[in-house]
Chains A and B, each alone.
Chain A
């Protein structure tokens, strides 16, 4: 496994904004080879990795109007490079909020310093923003912070090589609080008969940590495997995780052996847990569409949406996107609930319902006129899926629950843990035909 040979940040037209070489000499204008190579492909054939005839590999991602591209002349670990590039974008976001051409140009000194610290000999090193910001304090233009005192380098260095590299000592808060946000996204693919083809829950626990000192936290979940490990009878609604992943602060070996989640948290916001559940869920929403072609120039949609969750929950900001012919015009909508918009650019109509209670069903009727000259793709809409977006607060599809969060610090302060649940749509699609 080798490292990255060089890294480029290019603008939309492929011009170099930033370039940094880490390894043996590459041809001077290799980014132009890359640009040429990009043109060989179209939307169907473009892949994020390309190789040229000299054996240089180009690995790239896009972000806003930028391309982050690396060149490798050796057999590097491709997955690692992708992970690194995404992390780089993350770090830059922490520095300049919006990572785009302007902010890169304005802050090129910071970017160079970051690249110097984050990669050495093409291998990723420290990529934790909270530490980098101790190193690299150059004023960045968006932040406009006051001049900070000279970096106390010695502590910083200790941080990098320390075991707990994500938290520095001496953090102080007047009021000690932790906020947990449990966010579940439901990926669902429903066939035309309403049968569930694929369902998957992707969950996250986001933490906002405002605690003093070096606290040790212990988090208890209704994890089925935990109860089993304890030899206790699993509760009625214990969750069986297919896969669970943690922030690097969590002691993984402790979790592996005892299923106990124990950690010293970083300061501020971070993602503590991400998990995946591969369970069969009943659709939260189902949508039926009845299409009637009244005449050659008129098409009518009868859309029926139904919610299948418990009546005491309510979904907010529900938007149902139903595809329509690409040349439809003069829409007429009728519905008692919410509002409907025609979105010609998406070839769909969007039915928005601010509040959608559980176990309810709503109807909507839409009529479109079609021009006499038939568009070649007119029937394409029937092949496109219906998309739904929604948010259901105070509810997790999986039944995920935080049982407790214990906070212990040497100084023995009392801290308040807060928790909040929400379920959102992931990729929630219903096939029309």
Chain B
């Protein structure tokens, strides 16, 4: 048999070939199973195509399914042979009385994805869309996007059929699949093909009640992209969606949340909005205690987006984000992130107490992030600063190695000192921090140490000697450290001119020939200024204002149109990576939203309290708030979603670098 050529598995294939052509049915069936088994593990059994297809003659459903699987797998390799199967498919679709067989045939047919076969598919597919049996219809409907993907140009008649079906279909399952299919084609083609009217929306809402869980997801997810005409309609849709919050499938619940949150924007009635928020929050929190961490993770990633627009949902709920010891780290990281975000001037104590515990964790990255978070809170809330500093100093007392967390600790302490230079009452803390500065081994942390030595030279022992140590190694340091060293050394010189004059000369000699233009320029500027008028240098270098002012009072940033788009995609992959869909997938068109303002739902209680505090400025405040919001919006318009991951930190590092530049120019 030359048919097998020099195939190395000659023996096996030959045996199969013989069995497939055997007259005994059982033997044939066994052989088909074996073929599929080979196919699964990646062995090439495409040579048996002809023999396998012959087995379709038998009217055995199980075997049919297997053979179809085989055909789907190899049709792209052997399009010419696949044409031979088409008659079989057409026969099944047209003649079979069993709806299962009809559906199976059309489903498989759709999976072939061979352009030249698709034209044979159109007629049977039309028949199936109009079939009497809902099971066949729900299968046929899903078949259309498969065809559209391969050969869109032959699809218009099918699309018309779908729209007609949308108007008259009454079976919930078919409707759900129908909506999903049409939506997929809409996204792929960029055209609108779903024409909604009041009646269809009513029908969809009804179908949600009757549908299997996955169908509910399709419909709800679609409704979340729809813009209701008025407040009344939004109210009706929300009302019909509310019961879904009690569904056992987390995705159904989550989609219901999505629909409700989306439509809140369209409601006139403020009380209703508040009530709805109260209903949605517990559902979301339940999803967090779901026993599968994978589900929790997805929810958490989305919550950090939801929080931007709906801070009200998690007010007073910070403790649901507390980490438990056995959780996977990917959950802990997300929770930590969110905790910092919902930390405010009321609950910072609670949060700090919790963060204190995390400093004991085993993962150094996690501890590092914890320290960063403590720093963030300290810098954002003046009231929190004492407690935060005492936690950090306590941590510093036990430092024995140059670990990662220590680097972060030094960086955060620098920021805290920068924010509030009048912190001299923390002199003890300064000594403890100073005692660990030898453990700095990253550019950022080293430059933080250099800053501390320069800034607080008069409060720490042997600062000049420390500076000498640094300057001896000047050439080996990173550019960032070198720049900071220049400034700090000058600061120190101004404080102890006699002690440091040799030091500064040594520094200038080694820095003036640097390859780095920034370092070189800064050296020359200081040099010349020092030799002309040291007083000017003083005003430049030793300034006492709070350098770090540009912190947002609110750690929840990012109130832009992008947020609206992101919330429309709640649950999707793009949101999981905190990106917009079109940033991740090129074929998705950017959706332009003309809405100007993004409504932010904040808790009222808080506002009231603020207002009580400054009653006189009540109205003024509100105006200011609005203006601020607008400004913020403009500033943040271009922020990439990714940077959102860590926005406050980015701000900090930017700001902390900037003052250094300003000192010079």
CB nearest neighbor in B for A250? B246
Task: Indicate if B380 sits at the interface (CB-CB under 8 A).
Answer: no
List B contacts of A163 (CB < 8 A).
172, 210
Task: Indicate if B360 sits at the interface (CB-CB under 8 A).
Answer: yes
**Does the CB pair A112–B66 fall under 8 Å?**
yes
The CA of A252 and the CA of B208, in the complex, are separated in Å by 11
Instruction: Report the minimum CB–CB distance from B139 to chain A (whole Å).
Output: 6
Task: Indicate if A138 sits at the interface (CB-CB under 8 A).
Answer: yes
**Does the CB pair B325–A384 fall under 8 Å?**
yes
List A contacts of B134 (CB < 8 A).
160-161
**Does the CB pair B36–A383 fall under 8 Å?**
no
One digit per residue, 1 when the CB lies within 8 angstroms of any chain A CB and 0 when it does not, for chain B 326-342 equals 10111000000000000
**Does the CB pair A24–B221 fall under 8 Å?**
no
CB nearest neighbor in A for B72? A21
List A contacts of B98 (CB < 8 A).
153-154
Instruction: Report the minimum CB–CB distance from B205 to chain A (whole Å).
Output: 10
Q: Which of A59, A255, A385 contacts B246 (CB 8 A)?
A: A255
Interface size on A, residues (CB 8 A): 89
List A contacts of B212 (CB < 8 A).
125-128, 165, 248
**Does the CB pair B113–A24 fall under 8 Å?**
yes
Instruction: Report the minimum CB–CB distance from A426 to chain B (whole Å).
Output: 9
Within 8 A of A (CB), among B359-404: 360-363, 365-366
**Does the CB pair B289–A200 fall under 8 Å?**
yes
Q: Which of A23, A24, A74 contacts B585 (CB 8 A)?
A: A74
The CA of A345 and the CA of B134, in the complex, are separated in Å by 57
CB nearest neighbor in B for A109? B33
Q: Which of A109, A242, A278 contacts B66 (CB 8 A)?
A: A109
The CA of A163 and the CA of B181, in the complex, are separated in Å by 21
**Does the CB pair B588–A75 fall under 8 Å?**
yes
Task: Indicate if B93 sits at the interface (CB-CB under 8 A).
Answer: no
**Does the CB pair B295–A83 fall under 8 Å?**
yes
**Does the CB pair B65–A113 fall under 8 Å?**
yes
The CA of A128 and the CA of B248, in the complex, are separated in Å by 13
**Does the CB pair B282–A77 fall under 8 Å?**
no
Task: Indicate if B145 sits at the interface (CB-CB under 8 A).
Answer: yes
Task: Indicate if B419 sits at the interface (CB-CB under 8 A).
Answer: no
**Does the CB pair B142–A82 fall under 8 Å?**
no
Task: Indicate if B629 sits at the interface (CB-CB under 8 A).
Answer: no
One digit per residue, 1 when the CB lies within 8 angstroms of any chain B CB and 0 when it does not, for chain A 332-356 equals 0000000000000000000000000
List B contacts of A49 (CB < 8 A).
297-298, 573, 576
One digit per residue, 1 when the CB lies within 8 angstroms of any chain B CB and 0 when it does not, for chain A 45-78 equals 1111101000101010100000000001011111
Instruction: Report the minimum CB–CB distance from A76 to chain B (whole Å).
Output: 6
Among B17-25, B250-258, B555-563, the stretch in contact with A? B250-258
Q: Which of A3, A76, A109, A276 contacts B286 (CB 8 A)?
A: A276
**Does the CB pair B325–A153 fall under 8 Å?**
no
CB nearest neighbor in A for B209? A253
Q: Which of B61, B62, B254, B329 contacts A79 (CB 8 A)?
A: B254
The CA of A380 and the CA of B325, in the complex, are separated in Å by 13
Within 8 A of B (CB), among A241-255: 242-248, 250, 252-253, 255
Task: Indicate if B581 sits at the interface (CB-CB under 8 A).
Answer: yes
Task: Indicate if B196 sits at the interface (CB-CB under 8 A).
Answer: no
The CA of A250 and the CA of B247, in the complex, are separated in Å by 9
Task: Indicate if B450 sits at the interface (CB-CB under 8 A).
Answer: no
The CA of A303 and the CA of B69, in the complex, are separated in Å by 62
Task: Indicate if A173 sits at the interface (CB-CB under 8 A).
Answer: no
Within 8 A of B (CB), among A151-166: 151, 153-154, 156-157, 160-161, 163, 165
**Does the CB pair A242–B285 fall under 8 Å?**
yes
The CA of A52 and the CA of B110, in the complex, are separated in Å by 28
One digit per residue, 1 when the CB lies within 8 angstroms of any chain A CB and 0 when it does not, for chain B 206-250 equals 000110111001100100000000000000000010111111111
Could you tell me which B residues sit within 8 Å of A by CB distance? 33, 36-37, 40-42, 61-62, 65-66, 69, 72-73, 76, 98-100, 107, 110-111, 113, 133-135, 138-139, 142-143, 145-146, 149, 171-174, 177, 180-181, 183-184, 187, 209-210, 212-214, 217-218, 221, 240, 242-251, 253-254, 282-283, 285-286, 289, 292-295, 297-299, 319-320, 322, 324-326, 328-330, 354, 357, 360-363, 365-366, 569, 571-577, 581, 584-585, 588
> What are 18 A-B pairs at a CB distance below 8 A?
A18-B40, A22-B111, A24-B113, A74-B585, A75-B588, A78-B572, A82-B292, A82-B295, A108-B36, A112-B65, A121-B145, A123-B180, A135-B100, A245-B248, A248-B212, A256-B246, A276-B286, A431-B357
Taking A47-B297, A79-B251 as known contacts, 17 extra A-B pairs with beta carbons closer than 8 A to each other, sorted by chain A number, are A1-B218, A18-B40, A44-B363, A47-B330, A61-B292, A61-B294, A77-B217, A79-B254, A80-B217, A108-B37, A113-B62, A121-B142, A161-B173, A252-B246, A253-B240, A253-B243, A256-B243
Q: State the 9 A-B residue pairs at the shortest beta-carbon distance, nearest first.
A: A252-B243, A161-B134, A383-B360, A256-B243, A124-B214, A243-B286, A157-B135, A243-B282, A48-B294
